[in-house]
């Protein structure tokens, strides 16, 4: 009898489960070499390799000395706000108390396991391409999730406001059609306007546009130079600056179906993220959110999550046409692993269970 019940339970689980079980996310990063594992004894080596890693992590991971990794990490953590100038940080290659504290804060801010060590997960996150806006600001306002710039700035016009945006006539990329770029940004802006009472309208008047968009290389005059392929992808500034700069050195993509580069970056994902900054949001530790600071090559993240929506609505209020039910319905209706619809219901499950019990006893 017990054996029959076990079989019935397994059959019931298989029938009521979604068509496909959720996909397991597989890391794209090759495990560190043995010489790097001494940074954290728990780091294990692996033979799994990614074709992407050689493009932008090889110089970091192939360092011959532990001290090189520590020095590179200090520079990174200072660049993005974890080692602040008032701490009088010594930029040497020693694993000191200030660095350990910064590592803990970095791990917490990125939803990582908090170890205080430069373990593999932490180093992989450090080397993931990301937004150029700092993660930590001394007077950050906000919750442990969505956060704001100091002073909680926002666009101060009366609701329902409309902000204009324009593309630089001089600083654009030529391998993507302008019509494709315009379409990408129109979709990105519309995602935000669908949840708040703020509209966006493209204009050809670049000089007087509220938001100015351009692709720039290296030092471009805003004290935030770009670093070439990968690394920092883009940056924008708090309200009401309206400056939106993308690194022209990246391989930007609007369609991964036709773009074959292994280091291509999804333009729409980055556009959606940077618009969040223009509206007043900073980074969140919620990995699924649009406002999470990093984006891997060939990764696409364009759908606003609850954390993004709650953060921006706290600044501007809600679009009268938006309901949380619409967000929940879109999440429940689709198995995002393979985009198959989930059709099982409570009544269907009861029917199946009764059928199995009948088969069991007759």
Q: 339: annotated binding-site residue?
A: no
Q: 3: annotated binding-site residue?
A: no
Q: 141: annotated binding-site residue?
A: no
In angstroms, the first-to-last Cα distance of the chain is: 12
Helix axes 267-279, 306-316, angle to 10 degrees: 30
Q: 160: annotated binding-site residue?
A: no
Q: 34: annotated binding-site residue?
A: no
66 in catalytic set: no
Q: 303: annotated binding-site residue?
A: no
Q: 227: annotated binding-site residue?
A: yes
Q: Please say whether the beta carbons of 8 and 360 come within 8 A.
A: yes
Q: Work out whether strand 147-148 and strand 141-142 pair parallel, antiparallel, or are unpaired.
A: antiparallel
Q: 54: annotated binding-site residue?
A: no
DSSP 37: G
- Torsion from C-alpha of 42, 45, 50, 51, nearest 10 degrees: 130
Q: 210: annotated binding-site residue?
A: yes
28, 260, 274, 288: which one is catalytic? Answer: 274
Q: Residue 25 and residue 313: Cα distance in Å, rounded?
A: 30
Q: 307: annotated binding-site residue?
A: no
Supply 167's token pair. Answer: 């593309």
Q: Please say whether the beta carbons of 273 and 261 come within 8 A.
A: no
Q: 131: annotated binding-site residue?
A: yes
Strand ranges in 90-154 using DSSP code E only, listed in sequence order: 130-131, 141-142, 147-148
- The answer for residues whose C-beta is within 8 angstroms of residue 241's C-beta and 6 or more apart is 278
Supply 24's token pair. Answer: 């397991």
Geometric angle at alpha carbon 197, from 193 and 200, rounded to 5°: 45
The residue written with tokens 């985009």 in the block is: 339
Active-site positions read: 274
Extract the annotated binding site for Zn(2+). 131, 220, 222, 235, 245, 273, 277, 283, 291
Extract the annotated binding site for Ca(2+). 210, 227-228, 247, 250
């Amino acid at each position: 009898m017990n054996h029959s019940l076990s079989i019935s339970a397994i059959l019931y689980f298989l029938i009521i489960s979604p068509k496909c079980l959720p996909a397991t996310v597989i890391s794209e990063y090759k495990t560190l070499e043995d010489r790097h594992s001494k940074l954290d004894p728990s780091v294990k080596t692996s033979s799994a390799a990614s074709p992407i890693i050689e493009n932008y992590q090889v110089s970091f991971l192939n360092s011959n000395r532990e001290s090189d990794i520590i020095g590179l990490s200090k520079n990174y953590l200072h660049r993005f706000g974890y080692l602040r100038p008032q701490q009088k940080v010594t930029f040497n290659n020693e694993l000191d108390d200030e660095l350990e504290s910064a590592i803990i804060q970095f791990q917490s801010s990125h939803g990582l396991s908090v170890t205080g060590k430069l373990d593999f997960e932490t180093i992989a996150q450090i080397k993931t391409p990301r937004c150029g806006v700092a993660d930590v600001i001394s007077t950050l306002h906000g919750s442990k999730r969505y956060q704001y710039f100091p002073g909680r700035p926002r666009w101060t016009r009366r609701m329902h406001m409309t902000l204009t945006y324009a593309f630089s006539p001089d600083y654009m990329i030529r391998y993507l059609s302008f019509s494709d770029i315009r379409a990408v940004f129109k979709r990105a802006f519309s995602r935000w306007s669908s949840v708040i009472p703020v509209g966006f309208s493209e204009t050809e008047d670049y000089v007087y546009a509220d938001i100015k968009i351009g692709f720039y290389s290296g030092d471009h005059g805003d004290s935030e130079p770009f670093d070439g392929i990968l690394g920092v992808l883009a940056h924008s500034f708090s309200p009401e600056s309206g400056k939106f700069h993308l690194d022209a050195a990246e391989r930007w993509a609007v369609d991964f179906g036709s773009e074959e580069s292994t280091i291509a970056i999804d333009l729409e994902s980055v556009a959606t993220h940077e618009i969040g900054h223009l509206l007043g949001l900073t980074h969140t530790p919620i990995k699924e959110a649009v406002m999470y600071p990093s984006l891997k090559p060939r990764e696409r993240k364009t759908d606003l999550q609850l954390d993004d929506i709650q953060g921006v609505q706290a600044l501007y209020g809600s679009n009268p046409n938006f309901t949380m039910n619409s967000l929940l319905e879109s999440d429940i209706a689709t198995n995002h692993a393979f985009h198959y619809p989930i059709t099982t219901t409570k009544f269907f499950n009861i029917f199946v269970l009764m059928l199995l019990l009948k088969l069991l006893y007759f």
